[in-house]
Amino acid sequence: MIFNLHKPIYSSFYGIWDKWLRIAAKDNLKLVVNTPQGRTTYKNAREWKRGAKRMERYFKNPDVPMIFWGKNIYPEVKKRFERKKENLKTLSIMEGLKRIPRVKLEKLKMQVFS
């Protein structure tokens, strides 16, 4: 389930309506949250709720609150960015090894392992 959240409640604190989290939990869906700060992914709705704060907001019906689960997204965006950065470093090293001719690569392996 993909959520495109444009406006934070404050700073980098975003909320998702409980109705959508229940649907995601029932169907065991993965959550992808896109924000202006970045993208985060969660394995399931329970993972989103783990560090989230329950909020009640009154919109159309003043007697029945809408329940949201809010969370600060910036720390997870930062972790994802660092993880992607590390993956790019390892991929660039592997690409460099692919460009070395096979004969030279065998010699390098022999030097390293002997």
pLDDT in tens, 2-20: 999 998 888 889 999 999 9
Ordered strands of the 53-57 beta sheet: 13-17, 66-72, 53-57
Alpha helices in the chain (DSSP H): 18-26, 45-50, 74-99, 102-113
Mean pLDDT of 85-100: 72
Mean pLDDT of 92-110: 65
Cβ–Cβ < 8 Å for 16, 68? yes
Q: What is the pLDDT of residue 108?
A: 65
pLDDT in tens, 9-66: 888 899 999 999 999 999 999 999 999 988 999 999 999 999 899 999 888 888 888 9
**Is a pLDDT exceeding 60 seen at residue 79?**
yes
Mean pLDDT over the full length of the chain: 84
> Of 30, 1, 3, 34, which is closest to residue 16 (Cα–Cα)?
3
Q: What is the pLDDT of residue 10?
A: 87
